Each structure stands twice: as structure tokens, then as C-alpha cells.
Amino acid sequence: MRVKTSSFIFFKTTKRFLFFFILFLFFFFLSFACAGKQRKPFLKEELKEAKEKKEEELKKGYFPMPNLLGKTLNEAQIICKDLNLKLKWEENLGRESHLIVWQMPSSGELVKEGWVVWIIGEESEIKVRASVTIPDSDTSNEKMVFEKVRKEKIREKKSSYVVCLDPGHQRKANLELEPIGPGSPVMKEKCRGGTKGVLTKKPESQVNLEIALKLKEVLEREKVKVVMTRTSDNVNLSNVQRAAIANKHRVQIFVRIHADGSLNSSQRGASTLYPARNKWTELFYQASFKAAKLVQSELVKSTGLKDNGLVARSDLSGFNWSRVPVILVEVGFLTNPEEDRLLNQPDFQRKIAQGIAQGILKFLSLGD
């Protein structure tokens, strides 16, 4: 008589289990297939109803919102133009590079003539707001109310912006050394003396302060909060300390006001410096460049000064110690007789302040 071993019994039991398990799976998927067939007519009916409803809405003047996500601002403008939509920008920050990251209503949702669609574009830390509106010959009360509310919100938002102004230099130079950047072995004077007027003999530090105070007035009239690194000529502040003030207040932009100087008295014009890309400025050099471009353009437009363009600098401690977007505006040459005279005129100083302010406001998305 042959005795069944334990391994034989285990094999036979396993075989039965697999048979019943496979049988269970077969009936399980068969029941799902039958349910799907029963559900399919209902799905078709629902889809048909949804399609008919959408067609009915389209007849009433509604149409689906296009997908703008991932598009550049220029691409979005082209899409909206093709669909007879008008794209309105509240400011201009390089439409080619900003990508749309949010839109409301979302893609595919039905929108109607006269509705406003909000989109947000983003590049680095810069956010751009814009509105898409459908042109309508009849300006409805709803549109007028929306526009009024929108402008009020923009005015309210101005008070949330903070700008730091740094009138360059001071009455007495401080020639002690400090690193040009955190951990750098390269050292530079804490605060040089600056130049002076070839005719007026007025020191640059005083001219810078006069212009900065006028710029403060212009910005505050626009409800922008202003932090000053100094309001007197009699201070002792290094460039690292000045950057620390801007960092402490977490300002949207740090603007340094300077006047230029040269051994060549015929040298004239304005320029704007911005930080070159390095390990210290990686997070904000792009934003700084945008700010420099806007401020330089508005300054030249406001004053008629010769446009000496933009200059990237990697050796300025006031740039390398900053943790926020930063620029340095050279408002003209005190070593040029004509510009020395202009830079000491209150009216011309106000033109400089107005130009720089307009550039700052555009950078902050607050310009008209």
C-alpha cells in the first residue's frame, strides 16, 4: 500500500486552490464586462445631453476658453487675437519669456462676451498680471464696475510694496576693507568718497541724497513704502551694511543712487548697473536686469540724458551682499560741466526722480 506523503498532499491542495482562484477571477471580470455593457447606453445618453447643452450655450453666445497654460505671453496674445479677444497688460516685463501658469476660467470652460479672464505668468520670482477681455462696442455697467474695483485693488496693493533707496557715499569715506561677497577673500573699501562737481564743487554724496529724497517723495505719493539707508550726509555706513538694511526689510527692489565721474570732462550721460550672475546673485540677477532695463529707459526718457546703457558688475559688495533685486543708477557725470550744473538744479533732480520712479513702478507692476 502506497502512503501519500505530505508533499504530495500539499501539491494537490495547491492545484485545487489555483483552479478555484482562476475560476473566481473569470466570473469577476465577466460581471464587470456585463456591467460596462449595461452602463454604456447610459453614458452615451449623458454625453449626448452634455453635448446638446454645450451646443445650446454656444448658440447663446458662449464659447470655450482656450488653453493658455504653458504658453508665453506673446503666444497667449496671438491666440486671443485669433479668437477676437483683446489682451490687456498692466505692465510689460518681457512677454517672450514669461509662461502662463494659471488662468481663470480654466481651459474649456464656457465664457461669454464681456467676461474677464485672469491669467498669471511667472519667470523666476517675477509674477505678471494681465487680463483678457472680449471687445464690446457697448461698455456695460458691469465692465465699468469691474474696472473701478480693479484699479482700487491695484492702489491698495501699492502699500504692500517696499523699496529701499541708498544715496551713494557719505560725507567722510571709510577706507577700511570688507569682503566683496560672503566668504570672499577679495576685499574692498567699505565706502569710498565719491566724486564732486567740477564747477559747483558739491560732493557726490550730497547730490545723491538730494535726488534720493525727491525720489522718496514721488514713490510715497504712489503709496509705495520707502526705506532709506541714510537721510543725512553725516553717517558711517559700509556697502555691506547698506545691503543688510534692504535685506532686513525684504524689499521688492534695492535702488542705489550715484553720480558718475571721469578724468575726461566731455564724458556724459546716464547708465544703470546691475549684478552679474555669480554664486551670490544667482537668485535675483535676472530680476535685477529687468529692473535696470526699465529704470534706464524711463530715466533717459524723463531727462533727455545720453543713454550709456546697462552694465553688469560682479565686483560691487553692495550687489553681492544683497538678497533682493538690486540696481545702481548713475544719473550723470559731475565731472562734466553741463551735467554738473543740471544735477544741482532742483527741477532737473525732480526729472531724475520721476524717471527712476516710473521705472520702479513698472518693475513692481504698478505703472499705468
pLDDT value for 104 = 62
Residue 195, SS3 per DSSP: coil
Other CB atoms within a 10 A radius of the CB of residue 126 amount to 19
Establish how many alpha carbons lie within 13 A of residue 46's alpha carbon, considering only the half-sphere containing its beta carbon: 5
Residue 254 host element (H or E): strand 253-260
Measured in degrees and rounded to the nearest 5, phi and psi for residue 284 equal -135, 5
Nine cell digits for residue 9: 498532499
C-alpha distances (whole Å) from 299 to each of 75, 91, 214, 329 are 30, 17, 14, 9
Q: Which amino acid is at 347?
A: D
Beta-ladder partners of 271: 330
CA distance 308 to 142: 47
* pLDDT the model gives residue 127: 43
DSSP string, 273-339: EEEPSSTTTTTTHHHHHHHHHHHHHHHHHHH---EEEEEEESS-HHHHT-SS-EEEEEEEETTSHHH
Grid cell, residue 55, equals 451646443
Beta carbons within 8 Å of 255's beta carbon, 6+ residues apart: 163, 164, 165, 166, 215, 295, 326, 327, 329, 356, 360
Cα separation, 312 vs 292, in Å, equals 10
Rounded distance between C-alpha atoms, residue 361 and residue 161, angstroms? 10
pLDDT for 29:
65
The residues, any chain, with a CB within 8 Å of residue 181's CB and separated by 6 or more, are: 278, 279, 280, 317, 320, 321
3-state secondary structure of 191: strand
In the predicted model, residues of the chain with pLDDT beneath 70 are 1-17, 19-20, 27-51, 53-61, 82-106, 111-159, 366-368
Identify the pLDDT of residue 327: 98
Helices (H), 66-223: 73-82, 141-158, 204-221
Is-contact 265 198, C-beta < 8 A? yes
Contact 143, 150 (CB under 8 A): no
Closest alpha carbon to 235 in 263, 208, 270, 201: 208
Facing residues of 312 across strands? Answer: 274
Query: Whose CA is closest to 313, among 335, 297, 329?
Result: 329
